[in-house]
Amino acid sequence: MRQPAGRSARRTGGERKPREERWAELIEVATQVFYEKGYEAASLQDIADRLGMLKGSLYYYIQSKEDLLFDVISAVHREGLSVIQARADTEGDPLQRLENVIVGHVEHTCRNLVPTTVFLHELSALPPERRQEVLGSEHAYQGVFRGLIELAQKEGLVRADVDPRLAALSVLGATNWVYRWFRPGGEFTPEKIGAQMAEMVIRGIASEKVLSARVAGQA
């Protein structure tokens, strides 16, 4: 049974682990409450009421509201990271895999607006050391994008003047912002947004030989 992330360093030897089903429900409800009210305005009582349990019962699972936010944020980060790592491990050259990663990230964001919003809005509510614990010392999420850009650059697929770190930050900044304007059921589907954003990114950083090959392939 998975141990809740926020409590890994806080359990004592005699503490029981929460049942997986109840823990998953707690994370889901807390995510929704933080989304609706914001972390600062939300209370543990709000979450307990939504779960139909006593506030004191929450302390079986957590020690504080900050612990709960940490667990919510960690869960969102782990799931998103798993999605883009899977896309990065597909076949193809580094630039093709970067395109797959961008599409996957955008589609995942569009289909998970509530947890994505909580992550992007409330990460800063955690103390710096806990934010670092979520993101990892090497900023694992950003690292997937940066690593593929670096590989593509070494293979001559990305222009030599492109700074991989700056490019990765720019891509994440643009794709993360989708959560602010995407509307489910609207004119633009997650697939269309992902494909077009990926195309714009690739055209912005690709080397001349790659761009020429793409033009030739469309002729």
Planar angle of CA 15, 20, 25, nearest 5 degrees: 115
Statement: residue 5 has pLDDT above 60: no
* Range 90-108 average pLDDT: 96
Task: Report the chain's mean pLDDT, rounded to a whole number.
Answer: 89
Structure tokens, 18? 């929460």
Q: What per-residue confidence (pLDDT) applies to 16?
A: 44
* Domain locations along the chain: 15-63, 77-218
State how far the Cα of 20 lies from the Cα of 3, in Å rounded to an integer: 9
Which of 5-9, 34-38, 77-81 is the least confident region?
Answer: 5-9
Contact 120, 203 (CB under 8 A): no
Closest CA to 34 of 80, 70, 59: 70
- How do residues 57-85 score in pLDDT, each as one tens digit? 898 889 999 999 999 999 999 999 999 99
Mean pLDDT confidence for 104-120: 96
Structure tokens, 23? 């823990």
Q: What is the predicted pLDDT for the residue at 104?
A: 96
Q: Which residues contact 214 (CB under 8 A, 6 or more apart)?
A: 203, 206
Q: What is the pLDDT of residue 194?
A: 96
Taken as a whole, the chain contains a residue count of: 219
Query: Would you say 87 and 100 are in contact if contact means Cβ atoms under 8 Å apart?
Result: yes
Task: State residue 204's pLDDT score.
Answer: 94
CATH superfamily of 77-218: Tetracycline Repressor, domain 2 (1.10.357.10)
The domain covering 15-63 belongs, at the CATH homologous superfamily level, to Homeodomain-like (1.10.10.60)
pLDDT of the residue at 10? 43
119 near 76, Cβ under 8 Å? yes
Residue keyed to tokens 């005699």: 14
Q: Which of 206, 84, 190 is nearest to 145 (CA)?
A: 84
* Long-range interactions of 75-80: CB distance < 8 A, separation 24+: 75/5, 75/27, 75/31, 75/115, 76/31, 76/112, 76/115, 76/116, 76/118, 76/119, 77/119, 77/134, 77/135, 77/141, 79/108, 79/112, 79/115, 80/105, 80/108, 80/109, 80/112, 80/116, 80/119, 80/141
pTM across the whole model: 0.84
**Rounded mean pLDDT, 108-137:** 93
pLDDT in tens, 154-201: 999 999 999 999 999 999 999 999 999 999 999 999 999 999 999 999
User: Residue 132 to residues 15, 76, 140, 201: CA-CA distances in angstroms?
Assistant: 26, 15, 11, 28
